[in-house]
Amino acid sequence: MKCFQYFKDKKFRLREGRSAPELKKQINSEDYSSGADRVIKSSCSATSPRGIPELYEEKAHNLRVFTFSELRQATTDFNRLLKIGEGGFGNVYKGSIKPADGKGDPIFVAIKKLNRDGLQGHKQWLAEVQFLGVVEHQNLVKLIGYCAADGARGIQRLLVYEFMPNRTLEHHLFNKAFPPLPWKTRLQITLGAAEGLAYLHQGLEVQVIYRDFKSSNVLLDENFNPKLSDFGLAREGPLADRTHVSTAVVGTYGYAAPDYVETGHLTAKSDVWSFGVVLYEILTGRRSLERNRPKAEQKLLDWVQQYPADSKKFGLIMDPRLENEYSINAARKIARLADSCLSRSAKDRPKMSEVVENLKQIMQVSDEGNPSEKSFELCEGDLDVSETKADQYGPSESWKRRMAHLAKLGEHVEGASRRRLMIMQRAKVL
């Protein structure tokens, strides 16, 4: 993962062979809500909303605690053939484990294995256990359990998630080895991802800022329902009397909000900006940054500005792999929504709950749209302007010239045929 900079981590002193309760204490003691990350902590504990550590205490028992040998066996000793992903945290493997009650067939899971060097990955591992142990939504990936083992092999930190067979949104948008996503599926993914972010921002006792929304973090299940993953950079939002969280700037280049990059002030509107970037990726089939394109097209947001949603040439930005099978009216509305998410001023960006409602209305427009409307627009754009205007009042001059030319060709062919007939007749006479 390409980040602007990493956290300056405190050292974590973990004792050998800790059990699950001690791990829980370690997570609770982690300073996620003070210092650089939280601006203020209320002194009125009786009325203060509970933070993630307190919420985690209630739900920690829902997570399974695995031994390292169990997960090594589940992945056939972390076989390279079973590797399905990798990132700054470490490698992800497909594995199979027994159900919690030990009955029934094994279930497929995704197992993320922390690289053993560096404290940054350890802090992200703790954050994932903490946040995913609390959140519960159909558009957020489910954490099944974890492994925390210290022994002769060193520190072992692993996470076990539900397995998502259709990989990520990134694979289907940019990898030509995958079939193109149909228009309706793209809308379904867009809405589901928005609902996941809205839940994080407004559906819990404490606000959660995701901080790393991008197409590669949107997983797809067997029905292409989206689920947000990778909560290593997630942070609690500001308390009610504060506007932002002050924190080190991290995230993926091309997706992070400029106001956050410039000031380090993190708000839920930072996620809204990232969502706007992904909206344009879904429309265009292009990454936020592509160095192999001409200079004017390398940065997606700069390129799409040349084709405003209300302009006649807007259709030129649409993903050619859609093959004109989409509603141009719905596409324009999505582009306008993306533009509002990408407002330079964070205050002018909509809340994710407002984005969700807007997307639901757009999906209705798309369902009601004429499937041929896009083809009509392109054909109209290809015609000469004078011919298009002439069609409104009658045949154009160029059309008359073409018809006259065709008539002359017909006369030429007819004359040639008459000459051949005369020659044949003379041959017979002779």
- Rounded to whole angstroms, the Cα distance separating 208 from 220 reads 22
> How far apart, in whole angstroms, are the C-alpha atoms of residue 164 and residue 222?
7
Residue 212 annotated to the active site: yes
Of 138, 142, 162, 148, residue with least CA distance to 113: 148
Find tokens 């056939």 and name the residue.
76
Distance CA 284, CA 325 (A): 13
Residues contacting 368, CB < 8 A, separation 6+: none
Instruction: Establish how many alpha carbons lie within 13 A of residue 23's alpha carbon, considering only the half-sphere containing its beta carbon.
Output: 27
Does the annotation list 269 as a binding residue? no
Sign of the C-alpha dihedral computed for residues 252, 253, 254 and 259 taken in this order: positive
Q: What's phi and psi for 407, nearest 5 deg?
A: -65, -40
Neighbours of 141 (CB within 10 A): 25
Question: 140 in helix, strand or coil?
Answer: strand
Greatest CA separation for the chain: 122
- The answer to whether residues 143 and 129 touch, using CB atoms and an 8 Å cutoff, is yes
Q: Which residue has the tokens 């995913």?
A: 132
Q: Residue 219 forms beta bridges with which residues?
A: 168, 227
Give CA–CA dist 16/11, Å, rounded.
Answer: 15
State the DSSP string of 192-258: HHHHHHHHHHHSSSS-EE-----GGGEEE-TT--EEE---TT-EE---TT-S-EE----SBTTTS-H
Q: Give the angle 224-225-226 at the CA atoms, nearest 5°.
A: 105
Q: Which of 31, 212, 259, 382 is catalytic?
A: 212
Calpha distance 298→30 (Å, rounded): 40
Cβ atoms 32, 236 nearer than 8 A: yes
DSSP helix/strand/coil, 85: strand
The residues with which 150 forms a beta bridge, in sequence order, are 155
> Residues at the annotated binding site?
113
Catalytic residues: 212
> Residues at the annotated binding site for ATP?
113
